[in-house]
Amino acid sequence: MGGDRKKGYLRVDDQRMPRLQVKWSQGRADLDKKLAEYAKRLTRGRRGRSSGIEVDTEARFVGSRAKPKKHVRTFAWRGRECGMGVLWNCDVCKRAVLAQVSWLQEERYHDIARDVLLSLEDHGNEGWEPWAIDGFAFLAPQDYELVGWRRLTRYLEMTLQRGAEKIKVARWGMVPLVLNGRSVGDWYRDVNGGRRDVRWWLEEMEIKGHEGAAAWGERKRLAGRLRRRAAELLGRSPAVDFAAVAWHCPQANRLYAVESIYAGEGEALKGVVDSIVCHDGADG
């Protein structure tokens, strides 16, 4: 897997073979030309010999109703290995996508392949986009870019940014070892007490039906100090541009934390937190 919003490639394998492959690029593609080229590669074997694969460029299994605002071409092939694929240009995000699902002839995965290809999306919905790693998934406002991530034993973290706005989402496993008998609020104070980038206050409260804590405050910077001093002179509270929440889900034995540094109204934090399903049956 590699790439970014503009261009990239994803491949999912199992012990037997590659099962799913997706390529995307910014800009429109000549779908008929791309399909003809791809079909030729499928049928071409070594040293100019036939691969024994038959390609059907007229196969129809994904229509315009299933993929609105997309110009779609579908194809299938059959041989010792079989598969189904789609090509499309999207009128919304202006991306071209090629995706295919493969299986061995005896497996007969036609229905599974169709469901997988129907499930693929190339842009978010109503201003929100999904992000996920190792089963840890959430929604973030569109146009945020992934600027950093970490995957360690019992720990996952992703950091997204849009201009001056930043969101960090993290999850811990083996919570008893992490909390070590502390409340979520005390744990947060211990972990973040030495931070130099923000000044914050904390209140312990229920988050998503679980024991949790919420923090809010301001970034430490020259402009922030000047704004804080001006607010004090005027008898006003300083502007809040940092917020965070953390909670412990005992059903999943996970500890979650989401923090946001923002330049606007700070609505992103609530949307991200609401989208996280921390255990089966929990509201998103």
What Rg value do the Cα atoms of the chain yield, rounded? 24
CA distances from residue 38 to 32, 34, 57, 72, 135 in whole angstroms, order as listed: 10, 6, 10, 15, 32
Q: Per the structure block, which two tokens stand in for 130? A: 């999904």
* pLDDT for residue 236: 46
Give the Cα separation of 23 and 31 in Å (integer). Answer: 14
pTM above 0.85?
no
* pLDDT for residue 226: 47
User: What are the backbone angles phi and psi of residue 67, rounded to the nearest 5°?
Assistant: -130, 75
CA distances from residue 67 to 97, 170, 187 in whole angstroms, order as listed: 12, 33, 46
55, 85 contact by CB (below 8 A) = no
H or E segment at 178? helix 175-179
Domains, the chain, ordered by start? 2-119 (3.40.1000), 128-275 (3.40.1000)
145, 137 contact by CB (below 8 A) = no
81, 67 contact by CB (below 8 A) = no
Q: What is the pLDDT along the chain (284 residues), one digit of tens a residue?
A: 677 888 999 999 999 999 999 999 999 999 999 999 989 888 886 555 667 889 999 999 887 788 989 999 999 999 989 999 999 999 999 999 999 999 999 999 999 999 999 999 998 888 899 998 888 999 999 889 899 999 999 999 999 999 989 999 999 999 999 999 999 999 999 999 998 888 899 999 999 999 999 999 988 764 455 455 544 444 544 567 899 999 999 999 999 999 999 866 668 899 999 999 998 766 55
Give the Cα separation of 60 and 40 in Å (integer). Answer: 19
Q: In this structure, how many other beta carbons lie within 10 angstroms of the beta carbon of residue 27? A: 10
User: What are the backbone angles phi and psi of residue 75, rounded to the nearest 5°?
Assistant: -155, 165
* pLDDT for residue 281: 63
Residue 199: beta bridge partners? 218
